[in-house]
Structure 1
Amino acid sequence: MWNARVVVFVLILIVNCVNCKRFETRCKLVRELLKIGMPNDMFLGQWVCLIEKSSNRETRTFTVKPSGKRFYGIYQIPQQWCRENKRGGGCNIACEDLLDDDIRDDTACAVQIAKLEGFKYWPQWTARCKNDYFITNEIYKCPDLIRMSTKRKMISSETASLPRYKRSFHSRRKRFVYRQIYKVNALAV
């Protein structure tokens, strides 16, 4: 009888894992985040890192800490931001809605938390993503994304409004100025 219970329990776990949406690659996750409206800025890599380190890119991740605190969804949002069985909390959302495959509401709540508290609100981000730009560099290698780092994007947006013949002059002038600054800094040391 005990073995039958174990088999039933294992089958339930397998069915739950089959139903849960998991983004197999970072590129698929980034594609989904961009599709739902997350801006393609320098924080996109930080969001992907947070998702990877907190929920392993699985939408139905549910965690209960020894202290009794509950965390929901792909961003592992604490229960104070949602309410069980009805809408409420800081994000005015039901906690069960954070466990479905639609990550639009999860992302809206996570962005709201980040605006109020910053990324430091998530201990996983502080411990495993802060000052780690490996994932940020990796996502810009995705074939369907713009292949520009954020630094290149800022430089190209400055020169994009200039006519083509002025762009090359502008970039040569900028390199000259940077070399002069480097020489002054080298002499000061």
Structure 2
Amino acid sequence: IGGGMCVTFLNALGYSTGASRIEEDRLEFAKEIMARAEAGNVKLHLPENVVIANEFAADPAETDVMHVGDVPDGWYIMDIAPNSAEDFAKALTTCKTIIWNGPMGVFEMPKFSHGTRTVANAIAGLTGVTSVVGGGSTAEAIEELGLMDKMTHVSTGGGASLEFLEGKELPGIAALPDA
């Protein structure tokens, strides 16, 4: 779990996440997911270190790499750190199916695209793996990196993709029998 989503999970673990946006209404859900994973002996991967900036900008005055527990007040988590990106890439080598929804950082800003690039290239280099990429931002990153043909499936519908995986009825699909 990286990118914006990891901020809520890190906060649920008690880490200070600086000025980064936390989905307050999802904190309990994040705790529930972590508890279920632990009960099922499933390892959830979160970054150990992150790239932070003193402002949410493409070229902030200051950036640093810090342990997730050391993010200062007023600073923003902008990306997963290079060593965390490598940890994610290594963990992916054991997967047979990869469902990726959401970039690993603010990839639209070149200074904060390393995590997304590392994970995308790692997935693209795997063989015998089913890789499903969901979400407009992630699809955009895959396209910018020229890796569309290396993924099994790419969808710009991130929320719809996740709802489909949850087994929810999608209005567009439900309407097909009546067409």
Length-normalised TM-score, structure 2: 0.23
Larger Rg: 1
- The structure carrying a bigger strand percent of its residues is 2
Normalized against structure 1, the TM-score is what?
A: 0.22
